[in-house]
Structure 1
Amino acid sequence: MTFPNIEHLDQVTPHVSFDRGFVVSRRPDHTVIDYVYTVPETFSSAMALECRGLKFDRDGRIIGRPFHKFFNLGERQRIEQIDWSAPHHVLDKLDGSMVHPVRLDGATVFMTRMGATGQAAAAQRHADPGLLDLADHLLAGGITPIFEFTAPDNRIVVAYERPALTLLAARAMVSGAYLPQAELVRLGARFGVAVVRAGPPLADAAAFVARARREAGIEGYVLAFEDGHRLKLKTDGYVLRHRALTGVRLEKTVLAWVAAGAVDDVVPILPEAAAARLLAYQATIETRAAAHAADIRAFAAEHRGLPRKDYAALAFRRFDKRLTKAAFEAYDGRDPRGVIGGLLTYAAGSEGRVEAVRDLFGMAWSVDDLALPEIEP
């Protein structure tokens, strides 16, 4: 697998746009390029696949290149479409937050996809001297080390007993090439840093996938090829499929998948026609939600100097009453997307609530015309 060379922000910005789900977040000392929603065209180029948390300094030079966007096994490639004879490893998929360090104004700063966040700061507090030395060693060589931060208070699904930072990968910032797994192990031993557990290549991929999907208590696996190609494999595939095929008949469940960001996990286990319809439904909602957020941010930027009372009067005239809370979030300097996402989450609680926001997000859902498998009780 080949990756595009990236040295400067200007090489990337022509390939991204908000209507395809990307944001270019310019901060005083750095810039982040990430995607905030997806439509079918979002990941249609090699450069777009890189826009998953790219970091650039104030002069536009690349300072951080975390994972490229990779997909669930079955989402874009089925088992039989993959060359399993190519060198690869089976890595544990940890259930935490991806973090990576950058050098910013002479200091090492940990970031998540979206930049300097609370999770990134918590991870850095748990970084021991050996890990910081490894980070500085790689950054000095133009390489981004990528870690998973797991902790009892950073739980996604799987519970962890103690905070930990585990080295997952390392990428050359300019070329995008991944360091070989053997080199990660060598670096881990040298600096005393935990490295993600890697199993041997698969002799029988279909049998492994069948077993893995039945496993419990872990998130799953990453199938990491030495050329950089990666695939995700989640556990509990049968249970999820059963739930998906039941839930896909109910719009409130489908909306809940969108609100929770779970569509990517559901799509590979749905029949093709239902999967395509789900992706289109997600794109409709996320496009409208992103447009609402953009309007609110622009409004807040225009009127931020007003007293709160005057701002409120204008906001109530300008926005649907369901969006006024988001408008006040923006006035207070917070991202209105959180409130808009909360509207979707609340609406997913019942079919009646879905109807109450249909006009706001423009969605429509039915699978009555699709031939779906019969679900056993």
Structure 2
Amino acid sequence: MTVIEKLSFPEMAHIDDIQPALFGAEDVEAAFRVNHREGYLSVDYNIMLPGIWGCMVRDTDPEQVRLNLLRRELRGLKFCADSGDLIARPFQKFFNLMERPETLPEALDFSKPHAVLLKLDGSMVHPANVRGELVMMTRKGHVNAADAQAFAFSHPTIPYARFCRTMLASGWTPVFEWCTRKTPIVIDYPVDQLILTAVRENRTGQYLTYPEMERLGHDWDIPVVPLFASDIGCIHSFIERTRHMTGIEGAVIRFDDGTSLKLKTDDYRARHGLVEDFGREDRVIETILAGTADDMLATLTPPEQAALREQTQAVFSGLQARADAIAWVIERGRELYGDDRKQMAGHIARAYAGASKELKSAAMNTMSNSDIVANLKRVLIEPQNGRLKDVERAKHLLQIDDWSDVRNRHLVASSSGIRKEI
């Protein structure tokens, strides 16, 4: 396989410069979106359809290569809503090592200058000037960056705001990772941190090299992402070593020309899958009903563990309360009708005339199967795949709070406690 030579980032200054990348095939038009916000436009991919990024080792037509590179820039670009001018240029889309033909080791020249950085497990944020106001933004926009902005612009010792204004005025976008328990992912950050991970020129897309960024951080007292390794050495040994590490997300290889790759540990990938489930109400209830919550607990922070334990207790309390009520109805029916199934069925139907079909079904099943809790689980879960049939009906039957409320109570309480200790 031919080693990929340096690929120049597309130059841009105005939203008109990206128009060719937004249109064409139907899948392309569905994949990307220009989001209209107050004072600015945010351009991002909407869905990751196959093929929208192209392939740099297979696409030989120069125009297709240009479109590939341009579409990879559509990952949080920000433009002024009034003038259309580019106001911020965060990371382009880049891929995992060995994920695609162009990121296989044999397609890369590791003799070129590069840095191996620790991959931080937070949220990417960057500043932008919107109608004269300095704001922090995520890929989508400013809505989810309020905590990071409050942290940065009111920091007592680190001049984040002045640094950001200086960089933007010079035509550069500083990019940070916001690491916090307020929006946890997998790796726990007990103390809020806003760490500089890149500085990128808006017009050309070129990055400061790591030594240049490190010096800049030193001059401004801005925390900079640490090196993961001083040298890759044998790439295959590096991959094997990194994949088997624990307690970190992984590494980012950034060449001085801006080409970047990421490599995640096996441990992180496994935990991330469970953590994604932790964020979904249906998955949490399924896990609790299946009795496998302990597997999820091992991947969580203490406040997350407390939230899951609370919800587990609520689910089982709800199950037991419903089971006790059904047992009483069944016992009363047997006192009246003995083993007459027809009379018993009528009795249960009358007792649960206004109840949900799940509750009525569980009560009916109890005539032939005395394990009431198991009957309740059966009416909630699809037997083929172990998934909830309907999360809202399950919550109503179990009489449990919204998972987001339970989780946020613990996370906010934990964050408040941490802030008091600092």
Q: Which TM-score band applies after superposition, normalised by the shorter structure?
A: 0.5 to 0.7
Counterpart in the other structure of 2:385: 351
Counterpart in the other structure of 2:147: 122
Corresponding position: 1:26 with 2:36:
yes
Counterpart in the other structure of 2:169: 140
Corresponding position: 1:69 with 2:75:
no
How far apart are the structure 2 equivalents of 1:87 and 1:164?
28
Question: How far off its partner does 1:207 sit?
Answer: 0.9
Task: Note if contact 1:214-1:238 (Cα within 8 Å) is conserved in structure 2.
Answer: no
Corresponding position: 1:210 with 2:210:
no
Change (3 A) 1:69 1:350: farther
How far apart are the structure 2 equivalents of 1:238 and 1:25?
32
How far apart are the structure 2 equivalents of 1:348 and 1:202?
48
Identity %: 39
Give the alignment partner of residue 108 of structure 1, picking from 131, 134, 144.
134
Task: Note if contact 2:381-2:387 (Cα within 8 Å) is conserved in structure 1.
Answer: yes
Question: How far off its partner does 1:28 sit?
Answer: 3.3
SS in 1 for 2:225: coil
Change (3 A) 1:347 1:92: farther
User: What residue ranges of structure 1 are gaps of 5+ in the alignment?
Assistant: 244-252, 254-345, 357-377
Cα deviations across residues 167-186 of structure 1 (Å, max 9, x unaligned)?
00011011000011111111
How far apart are the structure 1 equivalents of 2:38 and 2:225?
34
Which has the higher relative contact order, 1 or 2, with Cα contacts under 8 A spaced 6 or more apart? 1
Task: Note if contact 2:248-2:268 (Cα within 8 Å) is conserved in structure 1.
Answer: no
How far apart are the structure 2 equivalents of 1:56 and 1:350?
48
Cα deviations across residues 154-205 of structure 1 (Å, max 9, x unaligned)?
2101111110000000110110000111111111111111000123231211
How far apart are the structure 2 equivalents of 1:348 and 1:102?
48
Task: Note if contact 1:133-1:191 (Cα within 8 Å) is conserved in structure 2.
Answer: no
Q: Structure 1-normalised TM-score?
A: 0.63
Change (3 A) 1:85 1:38: same
Task: Note if contact 1:87-1:201 (Cα within 8 Å) is conserved in structure 2.
Answer: no
Counterpart in the other structure of 1:364: none
User: What residue ranges of structure 2 are gaps of 5+ in the alignment?
Assistant: 1-6, 55-67, 274-282, 284-379, 391-422
Corresponding position: 1:15 with 2:45:
no
Amino acid at match of 2:230: P
Question: How far off its partner does 1:348 sit?
Answer: 11
Query: Quick check: 196-205 or 106-115, which moved more?
Result: 196-205
Task: Note if contact 1:20-1:41 (Cα within 8 Å) is conserved in structure 2.
Answer: no
How far apart are the structure 2 equivalents of 1:124 and 1:238?
28
Task: Note if contact 2:243-2:265 (Cα within 8 Å) is conserved in structure 1.
Answer: yes
Cα deviations across residues 197-248 of structure 1 (Å, max 9, x unaligned)?
12323121111111110111110010111010000100017985xx9xxxxx
How far apart are the structure 1 equivalents of 2:106 and 2:382?
36
Question: How far off its partner does 1:19 sit?
Answer: 3.6
SS in 2 for 1:152: coil
Paired residues in the alignment total 256
Task: Note if contact 2:249-2:268 (Cα within 8 Å) is conserved in structure 1.
Answer: no
How far apart are the structure 2 equivalents of 1:239 and 1:117?
28
Change (3 A) 1:85 1:348: farther
Q: Supply the RMSD in Å over aligned alpha carbons.
A: 2.9
Counterpart in the other structure of 1:365: none
Task: Note if contact 2:207-2:258 (Cα within 8 Å) is conserved in structure 1.
Answer: yes
Task: Note if contact 1:99-1:111 (Cα within 8 Å) is conserved in structure 2.
Answer: yes
Corresponding position: 1:83 with 2:97:
no
How far apart are the structure 1 equivalents of 2:161 and 2:382?
43
Change (3 A) 1:2 1:347: farther
Counterpart in the other structure of 1:363: none
